[in-house]
Amino acid sequence: MINFEEELKKFHPSLEVEDAEEAIYNQDLTDMADLLVKMIKESGVDVNGQ
């Protein structure tokens, strides 16, 4: 049996057009490639393979 209150919690207000710009700016675009490069840099491995 579906509980209305519990299901309602899964719904959220939708972003309006005016809020789109802020949402875009706040979006984290870090991906796996970025993580990989960061890890490589932190490890200190010479990018030339040394």
Partner 1 sequence: MFCYNCGCQLSEHDYCTACGADVSLYKKIMHVSNMFYNEGLEKAGVRDLSGAINSLRQSLKFNKNNIEARNLLGLVYFEMGEAVAALSEWVISKNIRPEKNVADDYIGMIQSNASRLDAINQTIKKYNYAYTYCVQGSKDLAVIQLKKVLALNPKFIRAHLLLALLYMDGEHWEQAGKEIQKCLRIDRNNTQSLRYMKEVEHMLSSDEGDRPSSKRKKDETMRYQSDNEIIIQPLNVKENKGGGFSTILNILIGLVIGAAAMYFLAVPAVQKDAQIKIQEETVKWGNQLDVKTSELKNLENQIAALKNSNSELNQQLTGITGENGTMSVIDRLLKAAAIYMETENLEQTAEALESIEQDMNVESASEEFQNLYHLLRNTVGPKIAGDYREKGYTYYRNEDFEAAIEFLKKAVYYDSSNANSLLDLGNAYRKNGDSDEAIATYDQVIEQFPDTEYARRAQQFKKELETEE
User: Angle 41-47-43 (CA atoms, 0-180°, nearest 5)?
Assistant: 30
Binds partner 1 by CB under 8 A, chosen from 13, 42, 43, 44: 13
Our finding on whether 8 is near partner 1 (CB under 8 A) is: yes
- Residue 33's Cβ-side half-sphere holds a number of Cα atoms within 13 Å equal to 1
Q: Contact, 26 vs 19, CB < 8 A?
A: no
Q: How far is the CB of 3 from partner 1 (least distance, A)?
A: 9
Site for partner 1, rule CB under 8 A? 1-2, 4, 7-8, 10-17, 19-20, 23-24, 27, 29-34, 36-37, 40, 45, 47-49
